[in-house]
Chains A and B, each alone.
Chain A
Amino acid sequence: MGWRGFTFLFLFLSIAVTNIKSDDVVVEVPKNPGDAVWRWECIKGQCEKLPITDGDRDTALSLGACKMFCNEFGNMWPRPSRIELGNNLVHMNRNSFDILLQNTDGPAADLMRSAIRRFRTQLQSVIPPGATVTEGGRTVSINVNIRDNSYIALQLDTDESYTVELRTSSDGRLTGDIRAENFFGARNALETLIQFAIFDDIRSEIQMVGSLLVEDKPYYPYRGILLDTSRNFFSVDSIKRTLDAMAISKLNTFHWHITDSHSFSFVSKSNPNLSKLGAITPYKVYSAAQIIDIVRYGLERGIRVMPEFDAPAHVGEGWQGTNLTVCFRKEPWQEFCVEPPCGQFDVTKDALYDVLQGIYNDMFELFKPDIFHMGGDEVHNECWNSSAEIQNWMKDKGWGLEKQDFFKLWEYFQQKAQANVFKSNNGKKLPLILWTSTLTEFEHIDEYLSNEDYIIQIWTTGTDPEIAGLLNKGYRLIISNYDALYFDCGFGAWVGEGNNWCSPYIGWQKVYDNSPKQMAGAHGNLILGGEAALWAEQADTSNLDNRLWPRAGAMAERLWAEPNTTWRSAERRMLHYRERLVNMGVLADSLQPEWCYQNEGYCYA
């Protein structure tokens, strides 16, 4: 029901009220049925909710308008590097809104057309469901200038910066310019621009700020979300919704943990039996066509879709009958792996590398990755050591069966697998990522892995000395410290009693304050960025949204802007950002009573 509906409501109520004769309670009936009751005013830096009176009806600000001018950075999320915001809002004509590409050739223009279509959809979703819009208003015309129209492959050194300018021209139109080096910057500009369009529910019109300048670029080049689709399956729609939410947050990497011990849902052209045996059901698979669709969907939103093929541990389902794994489903599982079902590759089998070559080829064909994640976490020596075949193989090499010998075995795997990966990349190197593990301990990592080839993804705590140790040895890092960025923490344990291992739940405030820069010390240049991880033992399509959002947005601002301030100064903008997520159909967690959104500054601790 829109405000017009409210009109009828008041008529109905006033009739009901006048029927009460027996009671002498004085009831104040609104003078103009249908008039909005509340307005907001920016007082001492916060929007105060005030009743509308006749005297201030014409100047009354809607909640969205008040927040734009009262909150820092024009209420933007993530906050920009620089903003100059005018002081007026104009009624904007949604039916006369042009975004003109100055260069209409080249692959970037195709992507921009798609981004502009998306912008128009977002503009529609500014209007609350059921609201009546007063049409008309000023014509809007935005010019888009992209310097390099051929550049459409996201890299770690891609320039994602942009500027947006808006002004009211002498003929009454709203005109503007978007300038960027490439498509990625230009689409970021559209994500910024849309945040300056609001619905005024006092006047029932769409408004845009009359003058604006934003100059903006990210602090870190790698800003990611990991989704594990092996422990539980996620529908293609839910993955796309995640990419949509990432796009408005200017996150740029969807790290797809697509395989694990629990299921193998990646349909491999070279080894189709893996998903036939390993999929949860025959219908819970990711086909080549679906993956191509998702990769393109990501690109249109400035997001790389990066696959992880976790190995040599975290394998199991799908490999039945191949004789290429050991200790699969071995019990008691606690002795051989971190969670049931156990499973690791038998890395001594030559045939394994032929199969891996095929899978890597399949993945490179579909994902066309610029970075590849090889997993490499939680290898259990006890698993390998439970196989007489592996023991004999190691003995034949003249190795023992001690910890150091199993490192050699792991290194043997990693080198062969690395060669396979590079071969899949047309014989060229590309950056490889590995999780922190016993192999990546800074004291000996350089014996096994070169800092030119490998990026290390930190998943221990944010105060782990490994961070400084690895930085000192020149390794580039991606920060996913579990004590701030593991979004699966805080629910009942799925094996055993009590709550899950990394409980308690991590609130958005802690996510926001988790600064890679502070962890890096003098080696800030080696931090590529960060990533929030959703391990999916206890998540699936049904609760995906509220696990990720809006917390991943808190990280998005940290990684985009690396502010010197804490969550406290971001809270009001965060609440607004969360409402934007909900309006676009993301089932984001609620952070506070809605009262706090309407009454800024009153819900403090």
Chain B
Amino acid sequence: MGDSHKLLLVLGILFFIIGNGCSLISEKNGDGRHWLWKCIEGRCIRKLGSAGASVTQSSPESCRLVCGRHGALWPRPTGATTLADRVLTFHPSSLRYDLEYVPSASRDFMEGAIEIFNNNLVKECEGNCTLLSDTILSIHMTVNSDDLSLNWSTDESYSLDLSTKGKNITIQINAETVFGARHGLETLSQLVTSYKATSSVYSVPRIGLIIVSGAKIRDKPIYSHRGLMLDTARNFIPLPAILRTIDAMASTKLNVFHWHITDTQSFPLESPRVPQLVRFGAYSPEQIYHVKDVQHVIREAKQRGIRVLLELDAPAHAGAGWQWGPAAGLGDLAVCWQHQPWRQRCIQPPCGQLNPANPQLYRILADLYRDIAELFPPGEFFHMGGDEVFFPCWNATKQITDLLESRGMGREQADFIRLWAEYQATALRIYDEAAGTPPPIILWSSHLTNPSIIENYLQKDRYIIQTWVPKDDPLPTQLLERGYKIIFSTKDAWYLDHGFWGSTQYHSWRVAYDNILPRFKSVLGGEVCMWTEYVDENNMDSRIWPRAAAVAERLWSDPSSSSKFAQARLARHRERLLRRGVNPEELQPFWCYQNEGECA
């Protein structure tokens, strides 16, 4: 008998033993006792046991998998959810997929989603599943629609049924769209955990996968806009870090990657029609998002059910990249650039604002917008920024004040708001021309979105307002009352940069989780925001995660219960992110992870 036969025999014996509920797991100490985890009233409680433990008692992860109503699921499903309390071992190579009931137009997408799902399983067992099993998983996918477009009205719902007969596990995932089906696979990956098996048979512990033996899940999101905003201008974020972030977003069913791609400090977005923008605006030639990079992000995001919301912030927050106007004979495209002392002209250095009085600016914008619109499908939303226009800058620019004077306008705040509104109207017209189909436009809340004047300047069928005021500010309600659609970025809960500068306070995951939005049809959802004055690729993971995951559950599930009841699942999800290569913040001593409910 060859060695390979011996191995198979050994593994066969091992499976038999696990199947019988005896434990070969956990390091034993001298007196034969070892740690085990028992699910008691929804909590996994650690105990020293002297008798054999079942597989689900072998680790905090395996206990969590079947403990409580929502097990290890993040975000928790919004519909009926039942999970069996037993588990089976399986190996990733034993998965069989049936895509017969997926429309042919959607098969490529589903195959991509399946590849991601398979990779996530392998990552769950630390890259190499060494424990074999003869369980067979048959995954039947049913997708009704062949529509591959992703927008606010996309049906993201899915159902998942999992049942076991002997060594055969059958999984049925039904969804209206591929995006719902993708969410189903994400949920399925969370019904799986790794565990380590040691035995007297082999010296090195083997790592394998276990899956719950039965499940029935009905699920769909509460809000259709569930976003994460990342600023890649204050500091450049390399492509791999962006893709890693998108992977992590997918694990929490977030569906909008809001890419704040430019700001005063740098302009890293390549525009083939206006190459000067990156040449003068990128930190270095290595720190540029080329067209193919942006396309790659858009493609990878969509494969994970995520839309890319590109923001080109204007007319404020613009400087680097726009300096070359005078040398090219175009006049000042941006004004107040790098003005010192900066406090006279802007809110943070370097100063810079676009010059609405320069007709050449709009020609450049037309080219830039054309390059942007070509990246996206027709009608895809676009973020035009529009925050923190600093009037003293324009007021100190002769070309602008001359323009106001020539038109009989004054230099009061109202005059500058009018100038801004005209800039915005022109920019919108140019973008519409570039895009062909007029898309939904998103703007940050600002002076221009003041409820008393907004209706004069911004049409409610074109503009969606992203509010970034504190929780107790009446602005969102006032805008809702006037018929505007809203995306919430509550700054005293969802601004992840707070706590590291000025008098701002760090917002814990609990604060993020407990930020409840009003449930109106015109509340599209929310976004958690990562401004990067103090962040780059080195620390972004720990700033964003797992707090963004807390926001994801608020937006997907909008649970009536508070963060107190989410801690054990979030701690488990954090471990999942670690396995998938993200470096999330640690929330508590590992002792608390192993002793649920003890660190209250």
Interface residues of A (CB under 8 A from B): 1-3, 5-6, 9, 13-14, 16-17, 20, 23, 25-28, 30, 37, 128, 130, 201, 231-233, 261-263, 272-273, 276-277, 280, 282-284, 317, 320-321, 329, 340-341, 490-499, 503-505, 507, 536-540, 542-543, 545-546, 582, 586-596, 598-599, 602-604
Contact = CB atoms under 8 A, between A and B. Distances in A.
Contact of B286 (A130, A329, A543, A588): A130
B272 A16 contact: yes
B353 interface: no
B280 interface: yes
B40 interface: no
Nearest to B327: A28
Contacts of B589: 231-232, 262, 494, 536-537
B189 to A, nearest CB: 20
Contacts of A587: 538-539, 583
B587 to A, nearest CB: 6
B203 interface: no
Interface string B501-540: 1000111111100000000000000000000111110110
Contacts of B327: 28
A5 B287 CA distance: 12
B283 A598 contact: yes
B538 A590 contact: yes
Contact of B324 (A28, A496, A546): A28
A602 B276 contact: no
A130 B283 CA distance: 16
Contacts of A280: 590-591, 594
Interface of B: 26-27, 29-31, 48, 196, 198, 205, 233-236, 265-266, 272-276, 279-280, 283-288, 320, 324, 327-330, 338, 340, 342, 349-350, 360, 363-364, 366-367, 499-501, 505-511, 532-536, 538-539, 541-542, 578, 583-592, 594-595, 598-600
Contact of B350 (A13, A499, A595): A595
Nearest to B592: A494
Nearest to A506: B500
* Interface of chain B: mostly helix, strand, loop or mixed: loop
Given A588-B539, A599-B338, 17 more contacts: A6-B285, A13-B275, A16-B275, A25-B367, A28-B328, A276-B30, A320-B48, A340-B598, A341-B595, A495-B599, A499-B499, A504-B506, A505-B499, A538-B585, A594-B235, A594-B283, A594-B287
B508 A542 contact: no
A262 B590 contact: yes
A23 B198 CA distance: 71
A494 B31 CA distance: 34
A3 B285 contact: yes
A333 to B, nearest CB: 8
A496 B588 CA distance: 11
Contacts of A542: 541-542, 578, 583-586
A327 to B, nearest CB: 14
A263 B591 CA distance: 7
A16 B328 CA distance: 18
A264 to B, nearest CB: 11
Contacts of A495: 588, 599-600
Contacts, number: 211
A273 B30 contact: yes
6 contacts: A9-B285, A27-B275, A231-B590, A490-B500, A542-B541, A589-B539
A491 B234 contact: no
B587 A262 contact: no
B590 A543 contact: no
A4 to B, nearest CB: 10
Contacts of A504: 499, 505-506
A602 B591 contact: no
A492 B514 CA distance: 13
A25 B198 CA distance: 70
A276 B27 contact: yes
Contacts of B286: 1-2, 5, 128, 130
A231 B591 CA distance: 7
Contact of B536 (A27, A130, A539, A590): A590
B590 A263 contact: yes
B274 to A, nearest CB: 8
Contact of A13 (B234, B272, B342, B505): B272
Contact of A498 (B285, B366, B508): B508
B506 A499 contact: yes
A544 B505 CA distance: 21
B235 A538 contact: no
Nearest to B275: A13
B212 to A, nearest CB: 22
A330 to B, nearest CB: 12
Contacts of B366: 23
Nearest to A542: B583
A599 B350 contact: yes
A198 B508 CA distance: 41
A9 to B, nearest CB: 6
B590 A5 contact: no
Contacts of A14: 275
Given A538-B587, A543-B585, A595-B283, A340 B534 contact: no
B439 to A, nearest CB: 23
Contacts of B590: 231-233, 262-263, 280, 284, 540
Instruction: Rank and list the top 8 A-B pairs by shortest CB-CB distance, nearest first.
Output: A492-B508, A282-B27, A595-B265, A13-B275, A6-B285, A542-B583, A546-B539, A587-B538
Given A26-B329, A494-B588, A499-B505, A593 B532 contact: yes
A602 B539 contact: no
Nearest to B231: A593
Nearest to A546: B539
A263 B275 CA distance: 57
A595 B48 contact: no
Nearest to A497: B510
A593 B599 contact: no
A277 B31 CA distance: 11
Contact of B360 (A25, A493, A494): A25
B528 to A, nearest CB: 14
Contact of A20 (B48, B233, B273): B273
A153 B508 CA distance: 45
A262 B599 CA distance: 12
B508 A27 contact: no
Contacts of B510: 492, 497
B586 A589 contact: no
A493 B506 CA distance: 10
Nearest to B31: A321
Contact of A277 (B29, B342, B501): B29
Nearest to B578: A542
Contacts of B586: 232, 536, 538-540, 542-543
A412 B265 CA distance: 62
A486 to B, nearest CB: 15
Contact of B265 (A128, A201, A594): A594
B538 A592 contact: no
A380 B338 CA distance: 57
Contact of B506 (A13, A491, A545, A594): A491
B363 A25 contact: yes
B561 to A, nearest CB: 16
Contacts of A1: 285-286
A532 B446 CA distance: 42
A23 B328 CA distance: 14
B595 A27 contact: no
Contacts of A341: 591, 595, 598
A591 B534 CA distance: 5
A590 B587 contact: no
Contacts of A321: 31
B5 to A, nearest CB: 30
